[in-house]
Chain A
Amino acid sequence: MSAILEVEGLAVRFGPTQAVRHAHFTVHQGETHCIVGESGCGKSVTSLAIMNLLARNGHRHAQKIIFAGEDIQAYSDRQMEEIRGNRMAMIFQEPMTSLNPSYTIGSQLTEVLRRHRNVSQAEAEARAMALMARVGITAPAMRLRQYPHQLSGGLRQRVMIAMALMCEPELLIADEPTTALDVTVQAQILRLLAELKQELGLGILLITHDLGIVARVADHVSVMYAGEVIESGRTADLFARPAHPYTRGLIDCVPVPGKIKAGEPLGSIPGTVPVMKEGFQGCAFRFRCASATDACTQDVPRHEIGAQHHVLCHHPVTDKGSRA
């Protein structure tokens, strides 16, 4: 399958803060690529940077941002507007900030389609209702006439998903698309995305902190820490042989039903992500890492540790069970 999105050397600055640093990953057609990582590590900023939707104080720089064979960095605002919501759609992390509170759900859904396709209002409404049904919203006719505040959190999230699918995009960037959904609806939405991936060859960049979702739907995973992709690999490899100490810590923190002892604190990685400033050197995880040595203050080498599996670390864990 060919690549639908190729990102190389992506950096985003907000004033002196480096939110994203030389991030790189590729999303293929018909593939789900997951990005995981701690709150604030730059996942949303990465996706906003791809869509060219950064806040005014954000500065983007990249070696490559190739969408469907073309570098879109040089695109004008108009060219971007043409592909955004159309060939490249995004489900934003916070539905309330991306749904306009003063318009009905119906007018917001149909507007997307009518902006990009020459269809009548009735056709647009029919498509909106069909998609709402597919994301599990019943009584779509009633929902179309409601305002965002009249919907539950999960309904709003599903409206956002339907909106992103209105134009049958080639690339879907989904930022935490199922956090507000119960597990049965979550499974339904994820099944729908898997179907579209098969049917339309949709490429999906899925941002989530739920490693259960990652394990079940991702073809490939990139783990971010402090703005960098610190480990990347095919899903099965990454879960079987997590090589970066952070990745291992993350997997160990996942609470699994039936396996938690009541009254005991949950496992967590102590400390917080440092804020990256210009000139930072060495591994950003070293302040929290049990394997850190003096070497970790130096530039970190990238190790290829398997087919399509690489890690940024001075002391990668190469064998499960042997923790330094």
Chain B
Amino acid sequence: MEMIKIINLHKSYGDLEVIKGIDLDIKSGEVVCIIGPSGSGKSTVLRCVNRLETPTSGRIIVDGKDIMDPDTDINHVRTEAGMVFQQFNLFPHMTVLDNVTLGPVKVRKMPRSDADKLGLALLEKVGLADKARNYPEQLSGGQKQRVAIARALSLKPKVILFDEPTSALDPELVGEVLEVMRQLASEGMTMVVVTHEMGFARDVADRVIFIDDGVVQEDSNPGDFFSNPKNPRLRDFLGKVA
């Protein structure tokens, strides 16, 4: 069962072609890690999936809905495909709980009390129930990112897109975020994770994808990906980061 199907995706910014024909199928329950050098187009692919960026050409099907079809309600698609950003992007003027309940209340029209119950349960899940009444600026980076994950979960999405969720964190705070992501993976959540955390990709991913120069250079299981990489660019890349 396909959760995300990307067919011949191209994306240009002006004259600069960033994505040069990508095909990708992500099945329900799969955890797919995307790695690649900075500027290779990883974020762009992810952001095309929930149409934060508009593809130049190609098709993207999310949970059976063609996101480029004018009849598709993109706001609904976005509730099915949550997103976690490198810079967290929490809403600084709202409490942690309100960050998590905004979607349920305004998008799902959930009654306040139900939304609060849901929000607290999600904060509990990421280990931050005691911070519900705090403001984001009172949290550490790792805590902020865990709130962002709770916010992404608040609409009960079918897939979550993570764009370098630990890259903005101090090294000692990376673990707590990866731990939450591991738990989500073990619960069967479909996840697409752009990351430089090779350990996480090796342990948690069902598939690892190497994107360079706007195309998929390698797409295999973590064992082959790390121990027996076929693509010369990937070998070069792994040599540099290892």
Chains A and B form a bound pair: no
Interface residues of A (CB under 8 A from B): none
